[in-house]
Amino acid sequence: MTYVLVAILCSLVGLGTAAYYATWVLKQDPGSALMQKISKHIQEGALAFLTREYRTVAIVLVAVAIAMTVFLRASGGIVMALAYLVGAVFSGSAGFIGLTIATRANSRTTHAATKSMPKALEVAFRGGAVMGLTVAGLGLLGVSLCFVVFLFASGLVKDLELVPGAMLSIFGMQIPATTIFSDIIPGFGLGASTIALFARVGGGIYTKAADVGADLVGKVEAGIPEDDPRNPAVIADNVGDNVGDVAGMGADLYESYVGAIVAPLALGSLLLGFRGALLPLLIAAVGMICSAIATLFVRGKEGGNPGRALSLGTYGAAILTLVACLPLVLWLVPAGTAFAGKSVVNPIGFFIAIFVGLAAGMAIGQASEIYTSDAHQAVKKIAEAAKTGPATVILAGIATGMQSTAASIIFLVIAMGVSYVAGEWAMPLGGGIFAVGLSAIGMLATTGIVVAVDAYGPIADNAGGISEMSHQGPEVRAITDSLDSVGNTTAAIAKGFAIASAAVTALAYFQLYATKVGLDRIDILQSNVIIGLFIGGMFPFLFSSLAINAVGRAAQAMIEEVRRQFREITGLREGVEGVEGEYSKCVDIATTAALREMILPASLACALPILVGLYSKSMLGGFLAGSLIVGFLLAIFMANSGGAWDNAKKYIEGGAMGGKGSDAHHAAVVGDTVGDPFKDTAGPSMNILIKVMSVIAVVFAPLFTRG
Amino acid sequence: MTYVLVAILCSLVGLGTAAYYATWVLKQDPGSALMQKISKHIQEGALAFLTREYRTVAIVLVAVAIAMTVFLRASGGIVMALAYLVGAVFSGSAGFIGLTIATRANSRTTHAATKSMPKALEVAFRGGAVMGLTVAGLGLLGVSLCFVVFLFASGLVKDLELVPGAMLSIFGMQIPATTIFSDIIPGFGLGASTIALFARVGGGIYTKAADVGADLVGKVEAGIPEDDPRNPAVIADNVGDNVGDVAGMGADLYESYVGAIVAPLALGSLLLGFRGALLPLLIAAVGMICSAIATLFVRGKEGGNPGRALSLGTYGAAILTLVACLPLVLWLVPAGTAFAGKSVVNPIGFFIAIFVGLAAGMAIGQASEIYTSDAHQAVKKIAEAAKTGPATVILAGIATGMQSTAASIIFLVIAMGVSYVAGEWAMPLGGGIFAVGLSAIGMLATTGIVVAVDAYGPIADNAGGISEMSHQGPEVRAITDSLDSVGNTTAAIAKGFAIASAAVTALAYFQLYATKVGLDRIDILQSNVIIGLFIGGMFPFLFSSLAINAVGRAAQAMIEEVRRQFREITGLREGVEGVEGEYSKCVDIATTAALREMILPASLACALPILVGLYSKSMLGGFLAGSLIVGFLLAIFMANSGGAWDNAKKYIEGGAMGGKGSDAHHAAVVGDTVGDPFKDTAGPSMNILIKVMSVIAVVFAPLFTRG
């Protein structure tokens, strides 16, 4: 009990820090009236999107909860449904809080930039830290509460051991403790996944529909340049940055974070009893505290490099976490700890797994950076290819993205292999799979600071936009530009990290699935399994194609709305003082279109694993593995192709190959436009896809009875 | 013995028919002096490419043969090396013969088109039939000869049963009969794969380097339009069509054909002894005869549809083969046939597997057609997207290609599932895997006519080019255009078929690999296997990126050579009478560049499976499955995206969306250029990649000893 209270305490420290930063940010000067007005439009737009999204999510949540209660009655359906709803509400709240602060930090950052760079960096980072610490804090708090409510309150645990035969009595059901770990708590994970599905897929369609829509309006309506404030889609575009990079990324990593606790926790409970379940929870708690401490390291120096300050935070948190995990592992599962006839031999092996997971996350993030930053060869080559036109830009970008999969796969595979071997060394005949799960929580322990650094990006980006729209001087622009450019790098790293974390989380769920349905092997020589692999491998391609087409259609709806406003609102096109576009209408149109467009892909993602599982559980095993591998590859490919095109365009705009307005620039713009739905819609959707399908398999496992 | 002689006889019938058609084609009027001159340049270029390629291949062949002799001594290395060399020489000869006739049929088709459509169709189809029947004939002959030489000549077989304990005495070695099936004959398959690797990957780089090079010369050199005969790269471009679509496709399907006989033959020998080995061989023999007969069905009617005539050939051969296979199966493996303690219960199950394989090949081909023909929605939508510029064209094409994977996977999976179940019904506990192999030979039995119809395409295409360059009248152009347009459809179908056949062949080799190394399971819950899956899945992405970049670099070399010729050959740019470009120099430059560029990807493809296998044979199992699935998906994706872009451009050139020269057309050209290396280099390379890696695993299996 005490130990779980420690975890709760840690989560409260994180949330407290977040609350402190939020208050601090809100106390900063929100800037001039114009800055505030623009910021207010963005806030309202973001709120409108969230409201609309959550209204739709609510219906899905209720439906799924009812389905759980009915179909999973035998495995404590109604309790699982409760955990599910709590998981969803926590994730939704994190998104709401993070987005609220982020959209208020933007104009404050702009105003701070009129003072100094370190000040502006502080405001932007602390704005992001609210999101980061809230995501991690609520994730950890939620899982810990499940422990407390379901386990301790009913006296199932005593002195770090489960009381043999003890049952949780609830709603007239008798639920054994093991079921709580393997069935009830994964329900919490599915709640996180449901929100992530909407935030990432719906949000991804929204943000690119608004972006592409706003761009195309600039082209089809004469006299309205791309970023003109008269264009009512411009605000929707800014809202999109927050919806995609703050709320979307937050929900994505919240889901990974929860999954990386939940899956190893269930696997650990089977291997090592209560100690095994507690270990992932306490690693997360340690990471939480270290992340909160590390936010203090991020301080700009006048004339210093803001990127270095952010890296200090990320790496500082990682090192602190590692240092603290070593004694934790040695204390909780010392050599000789025995359970179910097996015992721990070399606990240090579990620590190695945590370490390689953390290292792999950082390495895959860095690999993304190398393929998408103009400081390296790949982006320069794409810019070079722009001299011979758009076709060669596209080919070079696709080749770059495809090539980049190799580095990421190699890091992932090393982490998997090393942690498996280390786990078997730690505890023969079973430790390996648990250790792979530990590498997942190792990677995600510092989620708090990773999301903080990532959410900093769109705040800096928005601050740059506001400084332009509110006509600030070049010194201010120079500061916001330098912050924004660092934000692009951190975004690239976070993207790679998010993909890697999705893969390890899905992998942990996959192992848990196999354990739950009692598959002791998933043999690809069996035709069922190989058929599952093929279908699972195909689905990410199909899903991507649906997502890419959805952006196109939603953008079309947006363009039509803008044209309607130009037609019906007198004075808008002419820019008459006091006449404003109906910004919220544009936001609403894009929101509706995005939510409508996600119905088909999201339904398929939820229904397919259940249908396959009902047909055969080993086919579902193959299906999950196939979708995991192909989804991971496509995620890396699309994120890095898209990022490389984006930065190749920016590199040319910086003066290379003839600079802005040259033929090379026009060619690079084509690459960037192709890359938009790649890197911000279809690519990130893969993260969710692989996690959501595997957690569905875990939760609905009791229904799958046919080999 | 008699039965193998029947197979040899069938192959000789096929080869005889090919010889008859070759003589017939050569007897046709080769057309005007100008037609002959252009055709002669193409012939010389194709010969130059082949000569150069075979010179390089020879080195590789000798090296591999030595490696086999040394490292695989224990499993009859030197005999295997012999089979390997024979396999390669037969495949190389088929390519040589086919290309020689195809490049002579082109001007003859043009000349025939001055007479009538049916006549021109006949010349073009019979030119292609030489390639088709030679490919199938030599493939079947080679495998049959291996039977005769290694088995019967040494008296290992009597009355359809292997003589127990009998050994083949050769080069001082004693080789048991089962080793001949599982080790020696697969060496023949690897020979076919080596040639295919060069023909498809090297040829694919060549053809697109020449194509892109010729196009870009038109852009960078003022006053030289794309198809101008003064451009010395134009001939290289025409050569490329033959090298890619005739020799490349031929070697690809030769490899599939041989693999689809060899792998089920080895699996069959383990399940049913000699009868099991004979069945795939005789199915191929039946398909051979039926293909030869079906070539007679292809006759144009004045005013008729040439497409219908070609379909009649393809479907006619399929139906005849099926009708003949039923009695064959019932006679060779009747109910009650027993081997190794198991016996056949329902032989009709084996027939069902043959049937579904054949049907799936046709269905996947048709699916390709639906996604890439302008008669259907997908291509029209891409053309529509061209109105908003190149970026939307690219996105629409990528989405189309990704979506098209679903249909192909579903047909493939149905074929696999049904044939497995049918096989287990035919012969419980073992028949399933053999039946999946039978579905592969079912799909490929009619290779003769499939390749004939495919090789018809580039002949018709070349004939169109020659009729333009030799200034024929509009009636002649109308005939060659109608033949060419049908050729595009048949090419799309053949591409889908080639991919499907590669997948089933690789799958059969994969099963054989597992059997040979004694893996009774390949369990994805083991970390070795999942790591193998990840690495195997990544490799097709890496390979594609290398192939795409290779085209870019080789095209660059080509452009420089053309510019040198313009600089150094006086009168070339001005088009002075009698001054000609050094066509063969261009061909040679592109050839050298293509062969140089394929070194890295080809070496990786050969080395990786061996390295992985030496580390762990179950990791190699995962590796093969991962590369098979991802390679298949990328092959379909790239082939159909590329084909759809190509036809969207042609659709616009036909007058839609503003027609030739409109903005939409410019946008569509970008799509087409991106699609070129997709559909003609990287995409088709995937077919070879998945087969070559799995046959390498089979051949080098004896080296893999670590679990």
Mean pLDDT of B165-183: 80
CB contacts of B629 in chain A (<8 Å) are 533-534, 537, 626, 629-630
Q: How far apart (Å, rounded) are the C-alpha atoms in residues B418 and A98?
A: 52
- Diameter of chain A measured on Cα atoms: 80
**Chain B contacts in chain A segment 500-519 (CB below 8 A):** 507, 511, 514, 519
Residue spans of beta strands (DSSP E) within A366-446: none
Q: How far apart (Å, rounded) are the C-alpha atoms in residues A623 and B689?
A: 23
* Pick from A395, A525, A621: CB nearest B522: A525
Give tens-digit pLDDT for B322-356.
999 999 999 999 998 888 889 999 999 999 999 99
Residue B391 and residue A670: Cβ atoms within 8 Å? yes
What is the token pair recorded at B306? 């040439």
Residue B545 and residue A436: Cβ atoms within 8 Å? no
Residue A537 and residue B388: Cβ atoms within 8 Å? no
The answer to whether B260 and B589 have CB atoms below 8 angstroms apart is: no
Number of cross-chain residue pairs from A and B with Cβ atoms under 8 Å apart: 196
pLDDT in the model for residue B223: 65
Beta bridge partners of A342: A339
Q: How far apart (Å, rounded) are the C-alpha atoms in residues A254 and A136?
A: 7
CA distances (Å), origin A336, targets A331, A332, A339, B127: 11, 11, 10, 77
Q: What is the pTM of this model?
A: 0.94
Residue A409 and residue B514: Cβ atoms within 8 Å? no
Residue B552 and residue A391: Cβ atoms within 8 Å? no
* Pick from A405, A412, A669: CB nearest B542: A405
For residue B242, give the nearest of B112, B48, B55 by alpha carbon. B48
Q: Helices in B518-616 by DSSP H: which ranges?
A: 527-568, 583-597, 599-615
Residue B548 and residue A402: Cβ atoms within 8 Å? yes
pLDDT in the model for residue B437: 92
DSSP B546-562: HHHHHHHHHHHHHHHHH
Beta bridge partners of B158: B161
Residue B406 and residue A674: Cβ atoms within 8 Å? no
Q: How far apart (Å, rounded) are the C-alpha atoms in residues A428 and A345?
A: 8
Beta bridge partners of B157: B162
Q: Helices in A427-519 by DSSP H: which ranges?
A: 431-444, 447-469, 474-516
The answer to whether A423 and A264 have CB atoms below 8 angstroms apart is: no
What is the token pair recorded at A592? 């509706």
Beta carbons within 8 Å of A251's beta carbon, 6+ residues apart: A91, A94, A95, A192, A195, A196, A198, A199, A200, A203
| ipTM associated with this complex | 0.93
Amino acid at B291: S
Distance from CA of A204 to the nearest CA of B (A): 16
Mean pLDDT of B139-148: 89
* Pick from A405, A514, A531: CB nearest B417: A531
* Pick from A420, A534, A630: CB nearest B412: A534
B673 in reach of chain A (CB within 8 A):
yes
What is the token pair recorded at A239? 């809202």
DSSP B155-182: T-EETTEEPTT-EEEETTEEEEHHHIII
Residue B391 and residue A673: Cβ atoms within 8 Å? yes
Beta carbons within 8 Å of B656's beta carbon, 6+ residues apart: B380, B383
The answer to whether B680 and B204 have CB atoms below 8 angstroms apart is: yes
Q: How far apart (Å, rounded) are the C-alpha atoms in residues B254 and A264?
A: 49
Beta carbons within 8 Å of B99's beta carbon, 6+ residues apart: B46, B47, B50, B131, B242, B243, B246, B247
Q: How far apart (Å, rounded) are the C-alpha atoms in residues A480 and A503?
A: 34
Beta bridge partners of A523: B523
**Chain B contacts in chain A segment 518-557 (CB below 8 A):** 519-525, 527, 529-531, 533-535, 537-538, 541-542, 544-546, 548-549, 551-552
Residue A514 and residue B525: Cβ atoms within 8 Å? yes
Residue B300's pLDDT band (boundaries 50, 70, 90)? confident
Q: Which residue of A has its CA nearest to B540?
A: A402
User: What is the b/e burial string over B648-658, where b = at least 16 CB atoms within 10 angstroms of the residue's CB?
Assistant: bbbbbeeebbe
Beta carbons within 8 Å of B210's beta carbon, 6+ residues apart: B233, B236, B237, B239, B240, B555, B558, B586, B587, B590
pLDDT in the model for residue B414: 95
Q: How far apart (Å, rounded) are the C-alpha atoms in residues A238 and B324?
A: 68
Q: How far apart (Å, rounded) are the C-alpha atoms in residues B668 and A612?
A: 40
pLDDT in the model for residue A590: 87
For residue A237, give the nearest of A485, A38, A35 by alpha carbon. A38
pLDDT in the model for residue B565: 85
Neighbours of B494 (CB within 10 A): 25
pLDDT in the model for residue A218: 67
Q: How far apart (Å, rounded) are the C-alpha atoms in residues A463 and A457?
A: 10
pLDDT in the model for residue B222: 59
Beta carbons within 8 Å of A577's beta carbon, 6+ residues apart: none
DSSP, res B173:
E
pLDDT in the model for residue A233: 80
Residue B541 and residue A432: Cβ atoms within 8 Å? no
| Alpha carbon of residue A229 to chain centroid | 31
A400 in reach of chain B (CB within 8 A):
yes
Residue written as tokens 């990649």?
Answer: B689
For residue A675, give the nearest of B391, B673, B383, B403 by alpha carbon. B391
Q: How many residues does chain A have?
A: 707
Q: Which residue of A has its CA nearest to B433?
A: A527
Distance from CA of B410 to the nearest CA of A (A): 7
Mean pLDDT of B669-679: 92
Type and span of the H or E element at A105: helix A77-113
More confident residue, B155 or B316: B316
Residue A552 and residue B392: Cβ atoms within 8 Å? yes
Residue A416 and residue B527: Cβ atoms within 8 Å? yes
Residue spans of beta strands (DSSP E) within B166-281: 167-170, 173-176
The angle subtended at Cα A129 by Cα A25 and Cα A476, nearest 5°, is 55
Beta bridge partners of B343: B338
Residue B360's pLDDT band (boundaries 50, 70, 90)? very high
Instruction: Map out the domains of chain B as residue ranges.
Output: 2-372+391-512
CA distances (Å), origin B625, targets A668, B502, B592: 37, 13, 33
Q: How far apart (Å, rounded) are the C-alpha atoms in residues A582 and B306?
A: 59
Residue written as tokens 């803008």?
Answer: A562
DSSP 3-state of A523: strand
Residue A633 and residue B538: Cβ atoms within 8 Å? yes
Q: How far apart (Å, rounded) are the C-alpha atoms in residues B158 and B151?
A: 10
The answer to whether B310 and B490 have CB atoms below 8 angstroms apart is: yes
Q: How far apart (Å, rounded) are the C-alpha atoms in residues B582 and B562?
A: 9
DSSP, res B681:
I
CB contacts of B630 in chain A (<8 Å) are 537, 629-630, 633
Q: Helices in B333-389 by DSSP H: which ranges?
A: 348-372, 377-385
CB contacts of B625 in chain A (<8 Å) are 524, 530, 533
Is residue B627's pLDDT more than 90? yes
B216 in reach of chain A (CB within 8 A):
yes
Residue A535 and residue B637: Cβ atoms within 8 Å? no
A656 in reach of chain B (CB within 8 A):
no
What is the rounded average pLDDT for all residues in chain B? 89
Low-confidence ranges of chain A (pLDDT < 70): 1, 153, 218-227, 229
The answer to whether B700 and B81 have CB atoms below 8 angstroms apart is: no
**Chain A contacts in chain B segment 402-421 (CB below 8 A):** 402-403, 405-406, 409-410, 412-413, 416-417, 420-421
Residue A524 and residue B519: Cβ atoms within 8 Å? no
Give tens-digit pLDDT for A199-237.
999 999 998 888 888 877 766 665 666 667 677 787 888
* Through-space distance between the first and last CA atoms of chain A, rounded to whole angstroms: 39
Distance from CA of A89 to the nearest CA of B (A): 33
B267 in reach of chain A (CB within 8 A):
no
Give tens-digit pLDDT for B192-222.
999 999 999 999 999 888 888 887 776 666 5
* Pick from A395, A436, A527: CB nearest B677: A395
CA distances (Å), origin B18, targets A281, A574, B97, B443, B461: 72, 75, 10, 22, 21
Give tens-digit pLDDT for B379-413.
999 999 998 889 999 999 999 999 999 999 999 99
Residue B402 and residue A548: Cβ atoms within 8 Å? yes
Distance from CA of B513 to the nearest CA of A (A): 11
Give tens-digit pLDDT for A236-245.
888 888 888 8
Residue B452's pLDDT band (boundaries 50, 70, 90)? very high
Give tens-digit pLDDT for B463-515.
888 888 788 888 888 888 888 888 877 888 888 888 998 999 999 899 999 98
DSSP 3-state of A174: strand
Please provide residue B114's backbone torsions phi and psi, each rounded to the nearest 5 degrees: -75, -15
pLDDT in the model for residue A615: 94
CB contacts of A624 in chain B (<8 Å) are none
* Through-space distance between the first and last CA atoms of chain B, rounded to whole angstroms: 39
pLDDT in the model for residue B506: 93
CB contacts of B433 in chain A (<8 Å) are 525
Q: How far apart (Å, rounded) are the C-alpha atoms in residues A464 and A483?
A: 9
Residue A541 and residue B402: Cβ atoms within 8 Å? yes
pLDDT in the model for residue B401: 95
CB contacts of A544 in chain B (<8 Å) are 399, 402
Q: How far apart (Å, rounded) are the C-alpha atoms in residues B156 and B290?
A: 31
Q: How far apart (Å, rounded) are the C-alpha atoms in residues B552 and B96?
A: 27
Q: Which residue of B has its CA nearest to A378?
A: B549
Is residue B232's pLDDT more than 80? no
* Pick from B388, B542, B551: CB nearest A402: B542
More confident residue, A274 or B294: B294
DSSP, res B283:
H
Residue written as tokens 């390996």?
Answer: A432
Beta carbons within 8 Å of B2's beta carbon, 6+ residues apart: none
Beta bridge partners of B170: B173
Residue A520 and residue B524: Cβ atoms within 8 Å? no
DSSP 3-state of A571: coil
**What is the 3-state composition of chain A as percent helix, strand, coil, each rounded to the nearest 5?**
85, 0, 15
Residue B385 and residue A552: Cβ atoms within 8 Å? yes
CB contacts of B417 in chain A (<8 Å) are 527, 531
Amino acid at B387: K
CB contacts of B394 in chain A (<8 Å) are 394, 670, 674
DSSP, res B37:
H
A395 in reach of chain B (CB within 8 A):
yes
Residue B420 and residue A527: Cβ atoms within 8 Å? yes
